[in-house]
Amino acid sequence: ILTDEMTPIEQLRAIYDWVQNTTHYEGEAEENDAALAAYIGFTEHKGNCFTYASQAQFLLTRAGIDNLIVVKVVPEGRTDISTHRWNLVNIGEGWYHYDCTPRKDRRDFFYLTDAELMEYSNSHEGYGTHVYDPSLYPHIE
């Protein structure tokens, strides 16, 4: 899905689009093993947000792009709030949010600043979609 002629941002977009377009959001996945989650996504083309983040992590790493998986913070004892995982990426311009998991509202979560992602997250009633502990990750643009 990548060519030598692609810029780093084009590589990010190609990986993002490929993961979104080849994986179907379905059910649950083993959320303790990124390699297994990525494998299931690559072979069965289905999974949850951890599958999407794990596939992206594998492809980004293979492309030589720095990346991390972010874990949504859910308050202790709150079973009514779903977990979520997504990626951070750095192509030499700093860290940005990169969430390949498709949304019902078709929102694109490609290469977002922290302010952009938090604006979306905080716009939802109740607990935000992308609440995380910034102290656990590098500074995000």
The tens digit of pLDDT for each residue in 23-60 reads 999 977 768 899 999 999 999 999 999 999 999 999 99
pLDDT average, residue stretch 96-115: 95
Cα–Cα separations (whole angstroms), residue 138 to 52, 69, 96: 21, 12, 10
For 12-25, the DSSP string reads HHHHHHHHHHH-EE
Q: What is the tens place of the pLDDT at every residue in 106-140?
A: 899 999 999 999 999 999 877 899 999 999 999 99
Look at residue 31 in the predicted model and tell me its pLDDT.
80
**Residue 47 DSSP code:** E
Cα angle value 112/72/94 (rounded, 5°)? 35
Tell me, rounded to whole angstroms, the distance of Cα 140 from its chain centroid: 14
Q: What whole-number distance in Å separates Cα of residue 14 and Cα of residue 38? A: 17
Question: What percent of the chain has pLDDT above 70?
Answer: 99
Residue 110: the pLDDT is 98
Predicted TM-score (pTM) of the model is 0.94
pLDDT in tens, 5-19: 999 999 999 999 999
* Residue among 64, 13, 17, 57 at smallest CA distance from 36: 57
Any idea which residue has 């078709």 for tokens? Answer: 106
Q: Tokens 């303790």 correspond to what residue?
A: 32
